[in-house]
Structures are given as C-alpha cells and as structure tokens.
C-alpha cells in the first residue's frame, strides 16, 4: 500500500526534495490515519485553466487519495505583483475585479479533478495584507540580493538590461511566507517554481516551523506543438472549458511522441498499462492512432462525460476519416445574392476577402463538398455548406 502510494505520487515528477518526509507522511496516514497538508498555489491571472494546470491538479488529487488535505492557495495578493518566473518582462498588474472573476471560474474548473471534501481554499491576501511594512522588511532580510540575482530568469533579464521591478524580488519571499503561515507539509509546483518552492523551506526554517515542507516538482506540459510549454498566449493549449469535439480533436492532433508525455502526466491509467501500450506500439501490434484515441476519450470524458466523449469520437470519424460534414455547424443567413469571398468573411471562417481569394485559388474552399475555383462566384438563394481547409465550416442561408 505504501509503496504503491509512493509510486503514484512520484509518477511523472521532475524532482522531489526531501522524499523521506513524504514517505513518513504517507506511512503515518496508512498506519495511523493521520492526515497531512499539501499546498499548491495558483495565480488567478487568467480565467481559464488548461491541461497544463491540470498536471498539478492531478498530482493533488493523487495526494488526496493517500491522506493529503489540499491547501488550494489562491494568490490573490501575489497576483497583484506578478510572478516573475519564466517571464522576460514585468507582468501586468491585474485589477481586483478581474482577479475576483478569475477566482470563481478557476475553482469551479479545478473541482472537476479535485475532491472538494479534502480541499481547503485559502487566500494569501488574508495574511499577507496583515504582514505590513515591518513584517515585509523582516521577511526580506532573509534573502540577499546576490542570491536573488542568481535566479536564472532574473540574471538573464539583468544582463540583457530588461527591467526588473524591485517588487518582483518580493514574490518568492511572499510565496515562501505562505508556507510559513499555512505550515504546509508538502508543496507542489512546476519545475520553473523551484526557487520559489525552496524559499518556502528556507523561510519555514527561519521562522522556526519545526518541519520543513517537502517539495515535489512537476515538469511543464508541452503544448500542442510539442515544443513550447502549453500556454494561452501561445495558443497551443487545450482548455478545460473547451467543447468536447474540440478537446477530442486537439488531443488527437498531438504528435505520437508527445502522446506518451500526456499519458504520463494526464492519464489515470497506471504506469504498467501505459508501458504495455508502449510496447504494443513498438512491436507493431497496436496502432498509435488507436492509443491516441483512447487518450482523447479519457481526457474528454473527464471534463465532459463518457457519452460526450463517444459522440466526439463518432463526430470526428464522420468529419475526418470519411470527410463528411460535421453535424453541428454555425449557421448564418443573408439577404440577396452574395459574393463567395464576402460570404466566407461574413461567416467568420475567413479573416478578409483577400485571404478568401487566396484560399479559393489554392483550392481550399468547398461549397457542399465541391471545390470552388471561381473567385467571382455569386451565391444565389438557397442553403450552402461552406468549408475552408479541413476544419472550418459554416452553413449559409441566402434568401
């Protein structure tokens, strides 16, 4: 039991600091039913979670299975500073209203994965606001400028003369102080958070907390392109709130290599099952497409439902394998005859008539499955299914 728990806990992790502590905590739970706390901080800087975030949520859910009580920390105070991690520019400061809004959508999405009964939502504004100038100064005395500048992102920015706000220096300290206040037993985060996570340990020691938190770091999930990290700004993400059809399609569009990574970090399948599949693909007894489909089904089912996932799969096959038209297409209508290029723009499947012309020239545009070659084409009264490329569709009614 303990071994299995530890194996699941360390699954996919990039680095664990003080795994002895984790071992003891899990053992105490299994043998004596004692709970422990696992902290994980989220910045409410964006309203939508994507699968990259869920890597951590999954890990938290695993801990919940084995006695962990999750301290779901909302950084509503630190969000006003902006985490400098991995940024090459100072982050924008968010307004209070935006933060409030983000918090609501954040937590509802998070509870699709987390067990609500074993989760405590905490806001660091509660204690950080009270800290005051004096508390802040004494907190800051725990860290030297030299050490701060050792940080990769800071040193890069410093040497490339990108401005660093002094307030950004405070960020790791405040995050560390959260661990002091919450007396966390374990904190998890992405590998890019290492500095901040270790700060928690250092400060817990400085503030005389008896035990320092163990730290478990998860790798950063690559986005759909398989190279850069999944992020909204890069547009290579799968959002938790994505439609089931989109979600299914997006998962299927990842590369075969990336698929294994997603399995490790996002799937509920056991490590043994995954290894078996991998062997199957390697010796040719299992088609990689099938394996990827299973992954897409699993992920879609998690955020929607098993039925929705099956429908998405059927839909996908209709549209792509048999190159038929999807069942659910946005509909538009217009009065009187309309020029094809204009129609495509009006239906939001082309950004400009210029682009529409180009695509028509290249044979990317279809009406009712028929390739269009005439740029001048006028659409008279009737109903049409317009298509650009493989995935953009629209229905148009011309009166």
Closest approach of Cβ 139 to RNA, in Å? 29
Task: Using CB under 7 A, count the residues that bind RNA.
Answer: 41
Residues in a beta bridge with 398: 334, 382
Q: Does 232 bind RNA (CB under 7 A)?
A: no
Question: What residues contact 2, with CB distance under 8 A and at least 6 apart?
Answer: 23, 26, 27, 30
Q: Tell me whether residue 135 or residue 351 sits nearer to RNA (CB atom).
A: 351
Identify which range of 43-51, 119-127, 177-185, 388-396 contacts RNA by CB under 7 A: 388-396
Q: Does 390 bind RNA (CB under 7 A)?
A: yes
Among 355, 367, 385, 395, binds RNA (CB under 7 A): 355
Closest approach of Cβ 162 to RNA, in Å? 7
Residues 161 and 59: their CA atoms lie apart, in Å, by: 37
Among 132, 163, 284, 380, binds RNA (CB under 7 A): 163
Q: Tell me whether residue 64 or residue 387 sits nearer to RNA (CB atom).
A: 387
Residues 79-98 contacting RNA, CB under 7 A:
none
Identify which range of 107-115, 135-143, 199-207, 288-296 contacts RNA by CB under 7 A: 288-296
Q: Does 133 bind RNA (CB under 7 A)?
A: no
Among 15, 100, 150, 256, binds RNA (CB under 7 A): 256
Q: Does 320 bind RNA (CB under 7 A)?
A: yes
Residues 71 and 122: their CA atoms lie apart, in Å, by: 7
CA neighbor of 58 nearest in space, from 263, 208, 310: 263
Residues in a beta bridge with 217: 15, 189
Among 112, 232, 357, 395, binds RNA (CB under 7 A): 357
Buried b (16+ CB within 10 A) or exposed e, 324-346: eeeeebeebeeeeebbbbebbbb
- Residue 18 CB neighbours (<10 A): 16
CA neighbor of 338 nearest in space, from 385, 290, 378: 378
Q: Does 166 bind RNA (CB under 7 A)?
A: no
Q: Tell me whether residue 216 or residue 396 sits nearer to RNA (CB atom).
A: 396
Closest approach of Cβ 262 to RNA, in Å? 12
Closest approach of Cβ 339 to RNA, in Å? 3
Q: Does 6 bind RNA (CB under 7 A)?
A: no
Q: Tell me whether residue 33 or residue 163 sits nearer to RNA (CB atom).
A: 163
Q: Tell me whether residue 50 or residue 58 sits nearer to RNA (CB atom).
A: 50
Q: Does 127 bind RNA (CB under 7 A)?
A: no
Q: Does 391 bind RNA (CB under 7 A)?
A: yes
Identify which range of 48-56, 127-135, 201-209, 341-349 contacts RNA by CB under 7 A: 341-349
Could you give the string, one character per residue 180-219, with x where binding to RNA holds by CB under 7 A and - elsewhere?
----------------------------------------
Q: Tell me whether residue 123 or residue 316 sits nearer to RNA (CB atom).
A: 316
Identify which range of 7-15, 120-128, 148-156, 362-370 contacts RNA by CB under 7 A: 362-370
Site residues, RNA (CB under 7 A): 161-163, 225-226, 249, 252-256, 288-289, 292, 316, 319-321, 338-339, 341-342, 345, 351-355, 357-359, 362-364, 376, 378, 388-392
């Amino acid at each position: 039991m303990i071994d299995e728990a530890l194996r699941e806990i360390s699954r996919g992790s990039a680095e664990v600091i003080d795994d002895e502590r984790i071992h003891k905590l899990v053992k105490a739970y299994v043998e004596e039913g004692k709970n422990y706390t696992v902290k994980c901080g989220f910045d409410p800087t964006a309203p939508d979670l994507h699968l990259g975030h869920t890597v951590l949520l999954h890990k938290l859910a695993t801990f919940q299975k084995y006695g962990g009580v999750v301290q779901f920390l909302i950084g509503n105070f630190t969000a006003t500073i902006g985490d400098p991690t991995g940024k090459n520019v100072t982050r924008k400061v968010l307004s209070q209203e935006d933060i409030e809004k983000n918090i609501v959508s954040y937590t509802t999405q998070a509870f699709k994965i987390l067990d609500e009964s074993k989760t405590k939502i905490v806001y660091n504004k509660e204690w950080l606001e009270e800290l005051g100038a004096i508390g802040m100064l004494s907190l800051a005395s725990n860290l030297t400028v030299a050490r701060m500048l050792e940080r990769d992102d800071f040193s890069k920015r410093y040497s490339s003369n990108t401005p660093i706000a002094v307030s950004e220096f405070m960020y790791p300290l405040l995050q560390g102080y959260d661990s002091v206040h919450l007396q966390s037993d374990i904190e998890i985060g992405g590998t890019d958070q290492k500095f901040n996570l270790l700060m928690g340990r250092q400060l817990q020691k400085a503030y005389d907390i008896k035990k320092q938190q163990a730290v478990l770091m998860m790798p950063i999930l690559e986005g759909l392109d398989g190279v850069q990290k999944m992020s909204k700004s890069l547009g290579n993400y799968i959002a938790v709130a994505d439609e089931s059809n989109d979600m299914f399609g997006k998962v299927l569009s990842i590369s075969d290599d990336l698929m294994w990574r997603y399995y490790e970090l996002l799937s509920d399948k056991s490590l043994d099952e995954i290894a078996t599949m991998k062997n199957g693909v390697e010796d040719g007894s299992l088609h990689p497409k099938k394996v990827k489909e299973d992954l897409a089904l699993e992920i879609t089912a998690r955020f929607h439902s098993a039925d929705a996932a099956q429908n998405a799969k059927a839909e996908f096959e209709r549209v792509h394998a048999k190159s038929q038209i999807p069942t659910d297409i946005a509909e538009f209508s217009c009065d009187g005859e309309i020029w094809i290029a204009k129609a495509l723009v009006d239906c939001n499947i082309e950004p400009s008539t210029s682009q529409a012309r180009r695509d028509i020239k290249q044979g990317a545009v279809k009406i009712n499955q028929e390739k269009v070659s005439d740029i001048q084409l006028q659409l008279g009264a009737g109903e049409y299914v317009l298509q650009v490329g493989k995935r953009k569709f629209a229905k148009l009614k011309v009166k």
